[in-house]
Chain A
Amino acid sequence: MPADALTPAGAPGRRQRTLLREVKLFWRSSFGSLVSRESLTVLVPLLFLWELLPRFGLLPASLVPPPSTLATTFYQMLLKQHLLAHFGDSALRFVLGFGLAVLTAFPLGVLMGWNRFIRKHCLPLFQILAPIPPPAWVPVTMIVLGIGLPMQVFLIFLGVFYPVLFSTYQGISETNPRYIASARVFGASEFTIITHIHIWHALGSVIMGIRIGIALGLVMLVVAEMQSGASGIGYLLLRGKEYFQIDRMVVCMVILGGAGWLMTEVMKYIELKLAVWRIER
């Protein structure tokens, strides 16, 4: 790196430019598929129908609230229902459950993929536990942990844990043995082999697992909040049902879908940044 690139005078401009470039890249990789000419054929006409059909009375507006109604409902929910606070509660639960799951499942998956001894001892347990559908854990969890944050976090954890664990383990154990052999001959310690070879080789598979984990984690968030709690997007969704407020329910659904989509796009972007070597062709 040339020395003048590091001088303080040039630093802020450079940093801003880099930031701008990254934001642009993210924008292209995420919204690029939404805002395109191809969306004119299916997506945009459907949106128009959604808006126009209830408006002209072809569909009952109480059952199919058009997007314009949703916007006003969204605004009202922000003012009257503390939507932001509910969203914050949900986000906290999700982040805790998701973080806990990734922080445990990833290292465990790495160890299981790396070493046959560890794999043979751990895998049977997870092979028995993983097929249990996570929502089936709800009643037991509610009795054992009570109703509250620990129970919600645990349920989200269950949703995220297995996809991340299995995809990490799969990716690591499928590392090309040639790479390991060549590093080993040159003297790499087992730890270096894990950090410099296994993890890079498994990167795509790990990110795939995290993306599935995000989807399942959101499922478990809604399930947990419907069963418990007096807050969160899932709770608002259920309360909307009791008062027959379809517009509010749809707003909640859109928020959940949007959150899931955004997180998936962030993961795609991270993959794009980390796997330059694979995409650059």
Chain B
Amino acid sequence: MIEAVGISKSFPVPDGNGVTTETAVLQAVSLTVGDGAFVSLVGPTGCGKSTFLEILAGLQAPSQGEVRINGQRVLEPLPATPDGMKAYRKRHRFLSPIANSLFRDKPRHDIAMIFQDYAVFPWMTARQNVRFILGLRGVPKGEREERARHYLSMVGLEEAVHSYPSRMSGGMRQRLALARAFSAEPGIILMDEPFAAVDAFTRERLQDDLLRIWETSGTTIVLATHDVGEAVCLSDEIYVFSPAPGAIRGRVPISISRPRRHQSTDVQQLKEQVLSHFSGA
């Protein structure tokens, strides 16, 4: 269960003449995602979807509003007053608020994240990548090997278990990222444009694989994408983001049954319904 209430985020942007202006990236975004749901955030590039996911994951503090995951608050919002900001900076002068504990591996929330540029570790083989994540999750040593192999074969990487990511294609790397995220068996997976960097053929196969694994695992998925077709084919619910500063323009629930074909009339109609939220402004 993810509850985001009134999330706003702005960055100070220097204009090169020594003047910094606050630029709003997100404006009062509120949404609730139920357990096991597949939700997409659709919007043009640069509308703050990635920032929103990072706020959900606790990698950035929101300027206003708060995120609760399973009832637990993720990060406190940044103080609004200059004095409050000063105290906040002082409190976090040694370790930033997003830092984990110094020596103990422990996820703060039941979350995994997948990035557009894979972010699999190039100095570990596929198997080591997954085992490393399992270690962080506190999976006992004896179980790691079996679980790593199970999830690697689930995404079709059983041949590449001992390969380094530098020898893999983009699609294989993203499969590895999928295996890594699902092997942790998290309650929630956040995906930031996961299939934007792979070619169209690979993308459709990856989408099918993702749906297949999601249906067996019962994980909640929040997917950020600029591809409306992808969002319609995959998700139960779509939130449409406006261009920067990002705010929710509309919500489109989808009830047609899976598997959905890109060409089918239902999908086309829904795509137009989603796109109408952009042109309507």
Choose one: A181, A188, A191, A200; the contact of B119 (CB below 8 Å): A181
A48 to B243, alpha carbons, bound, how many Å? 73
- B102 in contact with A115 (CB, 8 Å): no
On chain A, the residues within 8 Å of B121 by CB distance are 179, 196-197, 200
A163-186 interface with B by 8 A CB criterion: 176, 178-179, 181-186
- B94 in contact with A190 (CB, 8 Å): no
Q: Does A278 contact B (CB under 8 A)?
A: yes
- A277 in contact with B137 (CB, 8 Å): no
Q: Does A117 contact B (CB under 8 A)?
A: yes
- A186 in contact with B184 (CB, 8 Å): yes
- The count of residues in chain B whose C-beta lies closer than 8 Å to any C-beta of chain A is 39
**Which residue of the partner chain B has the closest CB to A196?**
B132
**Which residue of the partner chain B has the closest CB to A192?**
B105
Q: Does A5 contact B (CB under 8 A)?
A: no
- B101 in contact with A185 (CB, 8 Å): no
On chain B, the residues within 8 Å of A178 by CB distance are 115, 117, 119
Choose one: B57, B100, B113; the contact of A188 (CB below 8 Å): B100
On chain A, the residues within 8 Å of B59 by CB distance are 181, 184-185
On chain A, the residues within 8 Å of B105 by CB distance are 187-189, 192
A186 to B137, alpha carbons, bound, how many Å? 7
B101-116 interface with A by 8 A CB criterion: 101-108, 111-113, 115
- B113 in contact with A183 (CB, 8 Å): no
Q: Does A276 contact B (CB under 8 A)?
A: yes
- The count of residues in chain A whose C-beta lies closer than 8 Å to any C-beta of chain B is 30
Given that A179-B119, A185-B112, A196-B132 are contacting pairs, would A191 and B167 also be in contact in the complex, using a CB cutoff of 8 Å? Answer: no
The digit string for A209-231, where 1 denotes a CB below 8 A from any CB of B, is 00000000000000000000000
- Which of A190, A201, A276 has the most chain B CB within a 10 Å cutoff? A190
A281 to B94, alpha carbons, bound, how many Å? 40
Choose one: B108, B113, B133, B137; the contact of A181 (CB below 8 Å): B113
On chain B, the residues within 8 Å of A176 by CB distance are 119
On chain A, the residues within 8 Å of B184 by CB distance are 186
- B136 in contact with A277 (CB, 8 Å): no
Q: Does A280 contact B (CB under 8 A)?
A: yes
Q: Does B34 contact A (CB under 8 A)?
A: no
On chain B, the residues within 8 Å of A117 by CB distance are 93-95
Q: Does B213 contact A (CB under 8 A)?
A: no
Q: Does B166 contact A (CB under 8 A)?
A: yes
**Which residue of the partner chain A has the closest CB to B164?**
A277
B127-147 interface with A by 8 A CB criterion: 132-133, 136-137
On chain B, the residues within 8 Å of A278 by CB distance are 122-123, 166
- B136 in contact with A188 (CB, 8 Å): yes
Q: Does B80 contact A (CB under 8 A)?
A: no
On chain B, the residues within 8 Å of A196 by CB distance are 121, 132
A176 to B120, alpha carbons, bound, how many Å? 11
The digit string for A251-280, where 1 denotes a CB below 8 A from any CB of B, is 000000000000000000000000111101
B100 CB, min distance to chain A CBs, angstroms: 5
**Which residue of the partner chain B has the closest CB to A191?**
B103
- A186 in contact with B124 (CB, 8 Å): no
On chain A, the residues within 8 Å of B123 by CB distance are 200-201, 203, 275, 277-278
A200 to B136, alpha carbons, bound, how many Å? 18
A177 CB, min distance to chain B CBs, angstroms: 9
Given that A190-B99, A196-B132 are contacting pairs, would A185 and B57 also be in contact in the complex, using a CB cutoff of 8 Å? Answer: yes
B158-191 interface with A by 8 A CB criterion: 164-167, 184
A117 CB, min distance to chain B CBs, angstroms: 5
On chain B, the residues within 8 Å of A277 by CB distance are 122-125, 164-166
A50 to B279, alpha carbons, bound, how many Å? 82
On chain B, the residues within 8 Å of A184 by CB distance are 59, 98-100
On chain A, the residues within 8 Å of B104 by CB distance are 189
- A182 in contact with B102 (CB, 8 Å): no
Choose one: B93, B100, B119, B122; the contact of A187 (CB below 8 Å): B100
**Which residue of the partner chain A has the closest CB to B125?**
A277
On chain A, the residues within 8 Å of B102 by CB distance are 189-191
**23 A/B residue pairs, CB under 8 Å, sorted by A:** A117-B93, A176-B119, A181-B119, A183-B136, A184-B99, A185-B111, A185-B113, A186-B184, A187-B100, A187-B107, A189-B100, A189-B103, A189-B105, A190-B99, A190-B102, A190-B103, A191-B102, A191-B103, A277-B123, A277-B124, A277-B125, A277-B166, A280-B164
Residues of chain A whose beta carbon lies under 8 Å from any beta carbon of chain B: 115-117, 176, 178-179, 181-193, 196-197, 200-201, 203, 275-278, 280-281
Besides A182-B113, A185-B113, A189-B104, 18 more A-B contacts (Cβ < 8 Å) are A117-B94, A178-B117, A179-B121, A181-B57, A181-B59, A185-B58, A187-B105, A188-B100, A188-B136, A189-B105, A190-B95, A190-B101, A191-B102, A191-B103, A192-B105, A196-B121, A277-B125, A277-B166
Nearest first, the 3 A-B pairs at minimum CB distance are A187-B107, A182-B119, A200-B123
